């Protein structure tokens, strides 16, 4: 019962936080008003700015921010013990992550749906804007370069997930056009989409479809990267209502219902035990088989600061500020919806991360096939988590969650092949929605960067004018990502079709710290926005300082000292990572110096060209 009680307490904690702390933020701090005109209505263009019901925006936002982060992060961080992982997920989600996402969303709503990078140029200065946008560009390039590899890896492990994921695309287009042209109620399309998706999970690996899945599984990572980047280009330039919104909404229905099934399976396993092991009738007892605290796992870095960059999505992730201020703020049609979308989505993701922790630390113990041997209890844990290196591989982390959560489903009578396919689809779908959203976000960032070079007199002499166009910016984004991805994999001197597509792994070591650093910088922008308007900022001070220190600390350790069994980036001779890492640290330090110099002068002084209506003294200069 211990496992079930933990899940229930975490869920109740998230619900209580939404109705207390989240309500206080929305009412007292951000003063959300149904009378305010949102960017989706003020700037409606039918492509990016599209007024949308909060249920659909929630679906887009939740599936975009979740990705594989709340799965792979907790699935490895439990090596330090399930207690610190759980505490960081629950407390981090409520007091740091959800505040970050909600704040970035509201600030963007008050600034015509612009990204936090662009807003930084107004609430701080133009130099900070450029620095911030460059950090965003680097982070999104890593996401685009690596997520093709992530999705390809999931498909290779769980080929039954391929057809259900592919069929989401035409289904989304049909439903998107149907909703846009007919204006029908969401209930019928939702029911229809959910039914079709579950049918594809149940029957999507039979007969001809099994052969098709096997063929797609056999494709190289390079092939998948090309296919997925082409798809991302198309998804990025189409109007959001055509593909992005309906696909994310369909995914959200399926994924949230899958979370419901996991919870139902958790109840079943806690009350009745797991499914009988092969060749027996006895139902194994559900219990936590992992240590509560382990400060020295074999080969692992020290828990501080690495716990806080290993679990990103699920507690807090800088990528979320891009979704909040990049796509979601352009779709929300009423300001009060921001709490449901921004704060509520992060708490939902926190609950997902909680279930991941329980699946890896208790679900695995119900029975796990490791290299042809069926293991239960602590033996199953030891086989998966023998060392940091063994557990840290992408396949190992995904498999730990998929097998553990599938055990929950099997305990309530869902067939094993359906359970595994359903969990595989969950992982691949999250990764896919993050990929196409990241491409659209990168397009915004490139357009904002290119727009910097526009002549102040309005003359059309911008040397990078083609990058201010959505097609030019998107093409540039995927070409850069493709060049990074198709470089030889780390440790491979020569390029070949077998190694191509894995080049993103060269920069991947940077992502954890860079992503979390981005969260700290987003807090900085939110703080300046409120400070200039005379609003309280005390609740932001600790999250901001914490998320500026931890990733900087982690990056410095990785650069010069190494972590766990891994040598430092300098010792390993990975000079690309060293250069980008040092450049990122330099950008952060520069931004913090700019912020420290401006902060004492900014209280109650509204920035020049402020886009929201606030009774405050205009600022004389922001240069």
pLDDT at 469: 87
Arithmetic mean of pLDDT over the chain: 88
Residue 375 pairs in a beta bridge with 368
At residue 292, φ and ψ (nearest 5 deg) are -70, -35
> What pLDDT, on a 0 to 100 scale, did the predictor assign at position 454?
62
Backbone angles phi, psi at 383, to 5 degrees: -65, -35
Q: Are 303 and 381 in contact (CB under 8 A)?
A: no
Give the H or E element holding residue 322.
helix 319-326
572 Cβ partners below 8 Å, 6+ apart?
566
**Which one has a higher pLDDT value, 548 or 136?**
548
Confidence at residue 461, expressed as pLDDT on a 0 to 100 scale: 61
More confident residue, 6 or 133: 6
Is residue 602 in a domain? Answer: no
Percent pLDDT > 90 in the chain is 50
Instruction: State residue 21's pLDDT score.
Output: 98
Residue 592 in domain = no
* Model confidence at 170: pLDDT above 50: yes
pLDDT of residue 189: 79
Average pLDDT value for residue range 428-454: 85
- Residue 601's Cβ-count burial label (10 Å; 0-12, 13-18, 19+) is exposed
Residue 593 pLDDT exceeds 60: yes
Tokens linked to 462: 């911008």
- Which has more pLDDT, 125 or 111? 111
621 lies in a domain?
no
Q: In this predicted structure, what is the pLDDT of residue 463?
A: 67
Lowest pLDDT segment from 41-50, 120-129, 231-240, 358-367: 120-129
* Residue 576: inside a domain: no
| pLDDT value of residue 321 | 94
Q: Summarize pLDDT for 446-469 with one digit per residue, the tens.
A: 988 888 766 444 555 666 778 888
pLDDT digits (tens, 9 = 90+) for 53-110: 999 999 999 999 987 888 989 999 999 999 999 999 999 999 999 999 999 999 999 9
Which among 498, 503, 457, 499 has a CA at the least distance from the CA of 480?
503
pTM (2 d.p.): 0.91
Quote the pLDDT of residue 493: 64
- The count of other CB atoms within 10 Å of the CB of residue 114 is 23
The pLDDT assigned to 184 comes to 67
3-state secondary structure of 393: coil
What is the distance between the alpha carbons of residues 104 and 165, in angstroms, rounded to a whole number?
30
The percentage of the chain sitting over the pLDDT mark of 70, rounded to a whole number, equals: 95
The count of structural domains within the chain is: 1
Query: How distant is the alpha carbon of residue 86 from its chain centre?
Result: 18
Distance between CA atoms of 267 and 413, rounded to whole angstroms?
13
The answer to whether residue 31 sits within a structural domain is yes
pLDDT of residue 49: 94
pLDDT recorded at residue 457: 47
**Which tops the pLDDT comparison, 372 or 331?**
331
- Residue 290 domain flag: yes
- Does residue 613 lie within any of the structural domains? no
Compute the distance between CA of residue 272 and CA of residue 295 in angstroms, rounded to an integer: 34
Closest CA to 447 of 461, 462, 476, 468: 468
CA R_g for the chain: 23
Whether 163 contacts 200, CB under 8 Å? yes
pLDDT digits (tens, 9 = 90+) for 467-513: 888 999 999 999 999 888 887 776 666 777 766 777 778 888 888 89
pLDDT at 617 over 50: no
The pLDDT score that the predictor gives to residue 622 is 39
Write the DSSP symbol of residue 276: P
Residue 550 is predicted with a pLDDT of 95
Task: Return the minimum-mean-pLDDT range out of 35-44, 155-164, 184-193, 223-232.
Answer: 184-193
Domain contains 549: no
Q: What is the mean pLDDT of residues 422-446?
A: 87
615 φ/ψ angles, rounded to the nearest 5 degrees: -80, 85
Peptide bond before residue 305 is cis, with ω within 30 degrees of 0: yes
Which is more confidently placed, 280 or 84? Answer: 84
pLDDT for 611 beyond 60: yes
pLDDT, position 372? 77
Domain range for 253: 2-507
pLDDT value at 443 more than 80: yes
Which residues lie closer than 8 Å to 363 by C-beta, 6 or more apart? 269, 286, 403, 404, 405, 406, 407, 408
SS3 332: strand
Q: What is the arithmetic mean of pLDDT over 535-540? A: 95
């Amino acid at each position: 019962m211990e496992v079930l009680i933990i899940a229930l307490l975490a869920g109740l904690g998230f619900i209580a936080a939404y109705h207390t702390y989240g309500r206080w933020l929305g009412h007292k701090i951000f003063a959300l008003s149904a009378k305010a005109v949102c960017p989706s209505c003020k700037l409606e263009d039918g492509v990016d700015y599209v007024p949308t019901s909060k249920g659909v925006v929630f679906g887009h936002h939740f599936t975009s921010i979740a990705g594989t982060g709340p799965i792979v992060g907790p699935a490895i961080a439990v090596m330090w013990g399930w207690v610190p992982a759980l505490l960081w997920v629950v407390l981090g989600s409520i007091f740091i992550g959800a505040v970050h996402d909600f704040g970035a969303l509201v600030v963007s709503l008050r600034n015509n749906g612009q990204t936090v990078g662009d807003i930084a140029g107004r609430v701080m200065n133009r130099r900070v804007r450029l620095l911030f946008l460059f950090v965003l560009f680097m982070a999104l390039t890593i996401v685009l370069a690596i997520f093709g590899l992530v999705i390809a890896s999931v498909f290779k492990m769980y080929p039954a997930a391929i057809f259900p994921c592919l069929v989401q695309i035409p289904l989304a287009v049909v439903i998107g056009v149907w909703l846009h042209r007919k204006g029908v109620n969401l209930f019928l399309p939702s029911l229809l989409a959910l039914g079709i998706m579950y049918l594809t999970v149940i029957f999507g690996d039979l007969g001809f479809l099994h052969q098709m899945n096997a063929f797609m599984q056999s494709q190289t990572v390079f092939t998948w990267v090309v296919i997925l980047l082409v798809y991302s280009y198309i998804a990025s330039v189409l109007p959001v209502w055509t593909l992005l919104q309906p696909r994310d909404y369909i995914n959200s229905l399926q994924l949230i219902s899958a979370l419901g099934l996991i919870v139902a399976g958790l109840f079943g396993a806690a009350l009745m035990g797991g499914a009988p092991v092969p060749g027996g009738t006895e139902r194994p007892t559900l219990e936590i088989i992992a240590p509560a605290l382990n400060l020295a796992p074999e080969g692992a870095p020290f828990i501080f600061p690495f716990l806080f960059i290993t679990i990103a999505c699920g507690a807090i992730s800088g990528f979320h500020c891009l979704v909040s201020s990049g796509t979601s703020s352009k779709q929300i049609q009423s300001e009060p919806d921001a709490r449901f979308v921004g704060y509520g989505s992060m708490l939902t993701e926190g609950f997902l991360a909680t279930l991941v922790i329980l699946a890896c630390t208790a679900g695995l113990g119900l029975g796990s096939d490791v290299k042809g041997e069926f293991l239960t209890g602590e033996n199953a844990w030891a086989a998966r988590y023998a060392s940091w290196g063994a557990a840290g591989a992408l396949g190992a982390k995904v498999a730990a969650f998929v097998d553990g959560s599938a055990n929950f489903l099997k305990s309530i009578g869902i067939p094993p092949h359906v359970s595994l396919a359903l969990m595989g689809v969950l992982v691949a779908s999250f990764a896919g929605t993050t990929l196409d959203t990241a491409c659209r976000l990168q397009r915004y960032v490139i357009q904002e960067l290119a727009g910097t070079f526009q002549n102040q007199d309005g003359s059309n002499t911008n040397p990078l004018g083609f990058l201010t166009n959505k097609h030019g910016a998107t093409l540039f984004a995927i070409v850069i990502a493709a060049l990074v991805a198709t470089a030889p994999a780390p440790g491979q001197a020569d390029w070949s079709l077998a190694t191509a597509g894995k080049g993103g792994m060269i920069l991947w070591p940077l992502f954890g710290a860079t992503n979390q650093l981005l969260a700290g910088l987003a807090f900085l922008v939110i703080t300046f926005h409120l400070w200039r308007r005379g609003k309280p900022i005390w609740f932001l001070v600790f999250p901001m300082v914490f998320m500026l220190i931890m990733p900087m600390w982690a990056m410095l350790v990785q650069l010069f000292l190494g972590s766990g069994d891994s040598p430092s980036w300098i010792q390993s001779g990975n000079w690309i990572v060293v250069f980008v890492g040092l450049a990122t640290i330099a950008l952060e330090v520069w931004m913090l110096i700019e912020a420290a110099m401006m902060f004492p002068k900014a209280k109650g002084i509204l920035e020049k060209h402020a886009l929201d209506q606030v009774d405050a003294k205009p600022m004389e200069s922001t240069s």
